[in-house]
Chain A
Amino acid sequence: MAESRAPVHVTGEVVATKRIGGYRHLTLTAPGVPESFRAGNFVAVTVEGHVARRALWVHRVRASSAFGPTLDVVVETRGSGTAWLAAQPVGARVTITGPLGRPFALPKDPVSCLLVGEGYAAAPLFPLAERLRERGCQVSLLVSAPDEAHLLSALEARRSARSVTVLTADGSVGQRGTVADHVDDLLVRSNADVVYAAGPTAVIRAAAAAAERAGAWSQVAVEVPTPCGTGLCHGCPLPVVGEDGVDRVIRACTEGPVVRGDRVRWEAM
């Protein structure tokens, strides 16, 4: 397979925009990006009038549609940049760089996997679940959020996942509680060999710790601000322990965002 995995910097277009709960879901064309995307990759988007880029997780990739290959991103409005992005109408042109970063590594054998995510940052777990199912892996999915408005819908994931568990901190939908409360139990019940986690630091840390206790492997998609997203600025430090046992600070955007959970120096984050 000689397919190029190098990122591209292209002009895309918003082909659909939808508000779901507290998030804005945008469907974008970005020639060359969906084609070489792997679950865990992200894209960087230019925001008018801002020097830094906005990094977005990819929620879904369609190999073909009426618009050709597309990708879906989830935007949470946090400041003027994300507000601008969320307000882009259908037809708006957007400058996109991607796919960026190291994706999730997939198991060679059809093992049992537990996927744990919270909020909009759980997005990369959805394309991951599809890939895992294609490989014959048994997928259990745990999605959590502070409340219903910030929960990514797990409805579509039911096709890829053998079991889906929904948690909200306020109990507005699914079970009440946090990932830390439920992840150990779920890990035992799913008999998972690998844990994949995406979301805020506390959530992926809890998932990695649970994996460690259960003797499972873990991979976490770390979310730290990435000013350029491309590895040029060294502005997204992620403290890890290298394979050689030496403490290092790597770039979350380039050597991450997906890293082994047992390699992250959580106390230094």
Chain B
Amino acid sequence: MSARVPGPVMVAAGCGGTGRELEPYLGPAGLDGLDFVTRSITLDARPGGPGPRLVEVPGGIVNAVGLPNPGLEHFLATELPWLVRAGARVIVSIAGATMGEYADLARRLSRAPGVAGLEVNVGAPDEVGVGLFEVREPYHSASVIAAVRREFPADRPVLAKLRPDVSRIVEGARSCHEAGATAVVVGNAVPAAFPDGRAGGLSGPAIAPIALRCVATVHQTVPEVPLIACGGVRDAASATAYLRAGASAVQVGTALLHDPTTLARLRADLETSHQEDP
């Protein structure tokens, strides 16, 4: 049995808190049935980077949050059970410094009750700066995906989250798909800098045209690769643009920081348009 591609509306990694903080804004259904991608979880706890971690720029934000998370152990003991009880379909984003760490994370998460799938963070805008496995070349990402796929049951999705770099995205998507990724998430924040030159990633409406170009290019070149779009999704129009370009789902991230009710509205809007357009 092959894994189902999640969606059509998902919470993007790192933008839903631990789930509890998002719940008040999701309407009566809450997290029930929602594809919730966690912030990236690492084997050991990480305090995250120093402040300021986010700075506002026209059309978006630049962030260098530094993957703060309580580590796998604590996540499994506290955050995961809460999300599962709330009815979320929990897709755990994982990040590691080595291929072995990615494999370890995948193996241990495969045994944890309630993990619906994994999203492999192989497209961080500054992986070297935050101590992650470096994915300069598409085959680096593909090797990580293969290592994760070996440890994780085939009937549950493994998503590969890549950088929205139009010159490399087709090769990256193809090789990750061949390595066993159920779908490719296009994409992560765009490598950028804070006003003081510090490395970070740009997200928000500013990057939507870039991610859209990547989604369209991948879909045209390798249509067999299921795509999940991420980048500046804030309303039905921006989501529909991605779905028309070939994505089968969208992730909502930065928009939640601006308006935490975006997700509830978008879910309702897309369901309505789906009913009207059989």
Which residues of A are in contact with B by a Cβ distance under 8 Å? 6-9, 46, 50-53, 81, 95, 97, 224-225, 227-228, 230-237, 239, 247-249, 254
Which residues of B are in contact with A by a Cβ distance under 8 Å? 14-18, 20-25, 39, 47-54, 56, 59-61, 63, 65, 68, 204-205, 254, 256-261
Cα separation A234 to B49 with both chains bound (whole Å): 10
B51 in contact with A231 (CB, 8 Å): no
A44 smallest CB distance to B (angstroms):
9
Q: Which residues of A sit under 8 angstroms from B63, Cβ to Cβ?
A: 233, 235
Q: Please report whether the interface of chain B is mostly helix, strand, loop or mixed according to DSSP.
A: loop
Query: Known pairs A7-B24, A51-B254, A254-B17. 14 more at Cβ < 8 A?
Result: A52-B257, A227-B56, A228-B257, A232-B16, A233-B257, A234-B39, A235-B52, A235-B63, A235-B65, A236-B53, A237-B47, A237-B49, A249-B47, A254-B21
A230 in contact with B260 (CB, 8 Å): yes
Q: Knowing A234-B68, A235-B63, A254-B17 touch, does A227 contact B54 (C-beta < 8 A)?
A: yes
22 A–B contacts from the bound complex (CB under 8 Å): A9-B261, A50-B56, A51-B56, A51-B59, A51-B61, A51-B205, A52-B257, A225-B51, A225-B52, A227-B61, A230-B22, A230-B257, A230-B260, A232-B17, A233-B15, A233-B257, A234-B14, A235-B53, A237-B53, A249-B47, A254-B17, A254-B21
B257 in contact with A97 (CB, 8 Å): no
B48 in contact with A232 (CB, 8 Å): no
B214 smallest CB distance to A (angstroms):
21
B258 in contact with A46 (CB, 8 Å): yes
Nearest B residue to A247 by beta-carbon distance? B47
B259 in contact with A46 (CB, 8 Å): yes
Q: Which residues of A sit under 8 angstroms from B49, Cβ to Cβ?
A: 237
Nearest B residue to A268 by beta-carbon distance? B50
Q: Which residues of A sit under 8 angstroms from B20, Cβ to Cβ?
A: 231
A216 smallest CB distance to B (angstroms):
29
Q: Knowing A224-B51, A234-B14 touch, does A95 contact B61 (C-beta < 8 A)?
A: no
Q: Which residues of A sit under 8 angstroms from B65, Cβ to Cβ?
A: 233-235
A51 smallest CB distance to B (angstroms):
5
Cα separation A224 to B65 with both chains bound (whole Å): 15
B82 smallest CB distance to A (angstroms):
14
B125 smallest CB distance to A (angstroms):
15
**B17 in complex: contacting residue of A6, A97, A230, CB < 8 Å:** A230
B51 in contact with A51 (CB, 8 Å): no
Q: Knowing A51-B254, A227-B61 touch, does A232 contact B56 (C-beta < 8 A)?
A: no
Q: Which residues of B sit under 8 angstroms from A248, Cβ to Cβ?
A: 47
Q: Knowing A230-B21, A249-B47 touch, does A235 contact B54 (C-beta < 8 A)?
A: yes
